[in-house]
Amino acid sequence: MDLNLAGKVIIVTGAGRGIGAAIVEVLAREGAAVLAADRSPADLQATRQQVEAAGGRCETVEAELTDPAACRRVVEAAVGRFGAIDGLVNNAGVNDGVGLETGSPEAFLESVRRNLLHYFSMAHWALPHLKASRGVILNIGSKVADTGQGGTSGYAASKGGAKALTREWAVELAPHGIRVNALVPAEVWTPQYETWIRTQQDPGQARQRLASRIPLGRRFTTPGEIADAAAFLCSPRSSHTTGQILHVDGGYTHLDRAAT
C-alpha cells in the first residue's frame, strides 16, 4: 500500500535510537522528508546514515527538548530546510524511575518537564505550519499510563498526560483539519530496554519471563512494528482517524492475564 507520504515533511523527536530511529527510517522509506531531533549527535548521525544508505531523506538537529526555546529551533529548522511541516511525532522521553517514595516533588516536576513539556512545546511552535498543511500530530505514549508499573510516578504522569493531550488537541484542532492520535507501546525491544535487562541478575531469564506475559507470540514488540503503525497514522491513508489511542503491544495491555 502506498501511504502517500512522498514529499511530506515530518519532525520526529527522540530520533537517535530505538522507536524514534525506527519511525524516521520507515517514514523516509515511504518518501517523507524527515527532520530528526535528539540530544545525542552521535545517535543522530547513525540514524541519518541508515536512512541515507536506504535512499531516504533525513536532516538532523541536536536539541535538548526540555528547553522550550530548543523546541522552537527544531521547528524553525524544519521550515528553514524543507519549507513546511506536515507532521509532528512526539517521541522523546525516558522511564526515569522517579517514584513516590524514592523521588521528591522537585524530581517529579523535572520528570514531567523531561517527558511531557516538550510535547506541548513542539506542538505549540509547529501549530501555524500544521494549520497551513492540515497536518498531523502523533504522540508516543506508554502502557505505564494504563497498567502502572511502580516506582515511576513522573513518567507515568507524563505518559498519562500525553494521552489526555491527544484527545484535547484532537478536539481543539479538528476545525483546522489537523488529526491527533497516540501510539502506546508496551514491551519493545530497544537498545534502552536491552541495557536495562542486562542489569538483572539473570538477563536471559528476565527477558523470557517478560516475553511470556505478551499474549501474541510471547515475544517483545519490535521498534519496526511501532514505526509501521506510526507511518500509517501520519499518512493520508488514516485521513478520518483522530483522537485515537492505538496500543501496539501484542495484546499486553488489554487482554486477560489468563491469556498468558
Q: Which residues are catalytic?
A: 155
Beta-carbon contacts of residue 89 (< 8 Å; ≥ 6 apart):
10, 11, 12, 13, 20, 23, 138, 140, 230, 234
Contact 107, 31 (CB under 8 A): no
Mapping DSSP onto H, E and C, the string for 97-140 reads CCCCCCCCHHHHHHHHHHHHHHHHHHHHHHHHHHHHHCCEEEEE
What are the distances in angstroms from CA 154 to CA 76, 94, 114? Answer: 29, 10, 9
Contact 74, 63 (CB under 8 A): yes
What are the distances in angstroms from CA 73 to CA 65, 83, 130, 254? Answer: 10, 14, 16, 39
Question: Residues 193, 198, 199, 200: is their CA dihedral positive or negative?
Answer: positive
Return d(Cα 71, Cα 13) in angstroms, integer.
10
Contact 98, 157 (CB under 8 A): no
Beta-carbon contacts of residue 236 (< 8 Å; ≥ 6 apart):
3, 4, 5
Q: Nearest-CA neighbor of 145 among 116, 103, 113, 171?
A: 116
